[in-house]
Structure 1
Amino acid sequence: MFFMLLAFVLIYRYFTIHTYNFVLLILIVLTILILLFYMISILSIYYIYKYNGRNKIIRNFAGTGMRALLPFSIFLADIFKTKKDLLRKFYIDFNNAMVNASGRRYLPKNVLILLPHCLQYSECGYKITNNTENCRRCGRCSIGKILKIAEEREVEVCIVTGGTAARNIVKRINPELIFAVACERDLTSGIVEVGKIPVIGLINDRPNGPCYNTTVDVESLKQRLDEILEV
């Protein structure tokens, strides 16, 4: 919008009245189309989020609109000093609704569970980011329970230290669906970055602050995992 206004000022300053009127008409039409796009996007997002609609055209339009609205919404949140995590949580919930609305189920071998290393008990002496078999499943953190659930369903689990490690693993394994546990910021950026790979996001709990002895609702993880697995 800023660049459109800038173009309008330059044209007004340096071009004839006929050129000015023509370009002004184009700008008006473009503005109407942009506003129409956002209006339809908002209605599509509401339809998917509220009614879990399975219409593919509406889902595609809602997804495109959400990706376009998210950066602008985060920008406004910065300006008005509001909590960006609320917007991110809505985006994650909407993304999950989009994946569920597709109605598709996935074979366990095509699903990847990504867990953040901050789920691990901070005083644990075993390194599990490269090898989950090192986990002793002592019960001090939720990772042991998640590994048991994944083993029973034959789903691969990777524990990552950050976004770069997660991207490398996704590129190497190339799953058809990712089940990710992380904070709102990491989940949002991850969903955007993986592009066409569907992601089910589950926000972790942070009773001790960010990135330290975090937890997750294991029963909710189990339930959501069973909802997308093909039996």
Structure 2
Amino acid sequence: MLYNLIGIALFFFIIVSIILTTTALLVGRINLNRNVWLAGFFVNILDFFYLPIKILFQKFSDSSKLDKLMVSLRNTANKSSFKKTRNRLILAPHCMRSLDCPASSTRFGIKCISCNKCILASIKKDAENYNYKLYIVAGSSYIRHIVKKEPVDGALLLACYYELNKVMRYLKQKNIVTYGVPLLEDGCYNTTIDYNNLKKTLNDLKMSEESKLPSVTAKVPHHVDDAERLIK
């Protein structure tokens, strides 16, 4: 009897899981063209079943399509929260830099010297104008050092869809709000980004007015407390 109940429960769990993941994937495809409601809920479903879904995509399709859907859903879910962040980073991949890049490497990534040999010089200037700190990283291990060093609550990521999804999942565990801008193609060097799209994203994600206000903790002077005690 117990085994029958376990079997029935497992059967219904599988059926419900298939329905939820299928729905989440369909919603993700719709979200590529227009923002959907409850995007955060659906991307959490895909997060939960990520490994088995990814295996199916690798076998029957292209796994980057799954990452693309998830990044799109995350961007929709995170956009309003990102606008409220104060301490922001831009994390760019080192594959975007020139092959003749003269910049040196540190434990926090490549230190851009604005030599103008690649697009990163312009992105560095944009980061300063929009109140971001730019880090050019060669892997996720650099990001661990950066988030330990910086009091960060928002990260704008530039990468291929696989790396975007991976880093967004990791930074979510650190309570860092993320937004991803994909590269135009994958690769290990001389990769490019749609710079106009990046500029549009920077404008769209400008800090909300309420986030610009300094946080003030009101303190009541001691003499006020003394006056109140006298009145009583």
Indicate the TM-score class for this superposition, using the shorter chain for normalisation: 0.7 to 0.9
Report if the CA contact (8 A) 2:155-2:177 is conserved: yes
Which one-letter code corresponds to 1:74 in the other structure?
K
In structure 2, the CA distance between the partners of 1:90 and 1:127, relative to structure 1 (3 Å rule), is same
1:53, distance to aligned residue in structure 2 (A) = 4.5
Query: Who is 1:200 aligned against?
Result: 179
Query: Who is 2:76 aligned against?
Result: 97
| Separation in structure 2 between the aligned mates of residue 169 and residue 30 of structure 1, nearest angstrom | 43
Report if the CA contact (8 A) 2:112-2:120 is conserved: no
- Percent identity of equivalent pairs: 24
1:99, distance to aligned residue in structure 2 (A) = 1.2
1:68, distance to aligned residue in structure 2 (A) = 1.9
Matches of residues 51-90 of structure 1 in structure 2 within 5 Å? 52-53=35-36, 58-80=38-60, 82-90=61-69
1:227, distance to aligned residue in structure 2 (A) = 1.7
Report if the CA contact (8 A) 1:178-1:200 is conserved: yes
Structure having the larger proportion of residues in helix: 1
1:41, distance to aligned residue in structure 2 (A) = 5.3
Which consecutive residues of structure 1, in runs of 5 or more, have no partner in the other structure?
A: 1-20
Which of these residues, 146, 151, 156, is aligned with residue 169 of structure 1? 146
SS at the partner of 1:112? Answer: strand
| Separation in structure 1 between the aligned mates of residue 82 and residue 164 of structure 2, nearest angstrom | 21
Report if the CA contact (8 A) 2:98-2:118 is conserved: yes
RMSD of Structure 2 on Structure 1 (CA): 2.7
1:116, distance to aligned residue in structure 2 (A) = 0.8
Which of these residues, 168, 179, 190, is aligned with residue 213 of structure 1? 190
In structure 2, the CA distance between the partners of 1:28 and 1:85, relative to structure 1 (3 Å rule), is same
Report if the CA contact (8 A) 2:114-2:124 is conserved: no
Query: Who is 2:4 aligned against?
Result: 24
Query: Who is 1:135 aligned against?
Result: 113
SS at the partner of 1:202? Answer: strand
Report if the CA contact (8 A) 1:42-1:65 is conserved: no
Report if the CA contact (8 A) 2:57-2:63 is conserved: yes
Which one-letter code corresponds to 2:35 in the other structure?
N
Query: Who is 1:181 aligned against?
Result: 158
| Separation in structure 2 between the aligned mates of residue 77 and residue 177 of structure 1, nearest angstrom | 30
Q: Once the two structures are superposed, what CA deviation does each residue of 1:172-203 show, in whole Å capped at 9, x if it has no partner?
A: 22421111111222222111222242211112
1:38, distance to aligned residue in structure 2 (A) = 4.5
| Normalised TM-score (structure 2) | 0.74
| Separation in structure 2 between the aligned mates of residue 131 and residue 76 of structure 1, nearest angstrom | 35
1:35, distance to aligned residue in structure 2 (A) = 2.6
1:60, distance to aligned residue in structure 2 (A) = 4.8
Report if the CA contact (8 A) 1:106-1:176 is conserved: no
In structure 2, the CA distance between the partners of 1:112 and 1:180, relative to structure 1 (3 Å rule), is same
Which one-letter code corresponds to 1:94 in the other structure?
L
Which one-letter code corresponds to 1:180 in the other structure?
L
In structure 2, the CA distance between the partners of 1:40 and 1:77, relative to structure 1 (3 Å rule), is closer
Moved more, 166-175 or 145-154: 166-175
Which consecutive residues of structure 2, in runs of 5 or more, have no partner in the other structure?
A: 209-232
Which one-letter code corresponds to 2:65 in the other structure?
L
